[in-house]
Amino acid sequence: MMEVPRVKTRVHVGDDSSAESTTVWEQWIPPQGHIPPHYHEVEEVLVILSGEISITLDNTASIVQTPATILIPKQKVHSLAPHGPNEVHLLAFFPITSPKIIAPDGTLRPMPWEDRKSSKE
């Protein structure tokens, strides 16, 4: 089982809103946190608001400084982690109301707000 990262997530638009085809998450990744390798069935747009981030997309790592916008194509495995001592603050946009988080092996990963529940089991 993969260690659960500690990422704080606020859902601005998604399942519980009146949106028909959009999800917006706001996330904070602490300096020791990370988002493990995964992909989505749809593209994702990340807007990095603060901090410096290391992003790996299909086994290629890059360091991105703010402000930045990153387009992640659908079904492309990616992971994120702060680069340096500061928290990363970002917005994630999906063109669907219920995006799935899929591990590289094809299994579903918990949603960010479910990670805390599953780590207590």
Which percentage of the chain shows pLDDT scores above 90?
Answer: 71
The CATH class of 8-119 is mainly beta
Count the Cβ atoms, other than its own, within 10 Å of residue 82: 19
DSSP 39: B
pLDDT band, residue 115 (cuts 50/70/90): low
Cα gap 50→58, rounded to integer Å = 24
| pTM of the model as a whole | 0.87
Contact 41, 99 (CB under 8 A): yes
Instruction: List pLDDT tens digits, range 35-78.
Output: 999 999 999 999 999 999 999 998 999 999 999 999 999 999 99
pLDDT (0 to 100) of residue 31:
93
Cα gap 17→6, rounded to integer Å = 25
Residue 28 has pLDDT above 90, yes or no: yes
List the structure tokens of 32: 């020791």
Strands 68-72 and 60-65: unpaired
Cα gap 21→32, rounded to integer Å = 33
Give residue limits of the domains in the chain: 8-119
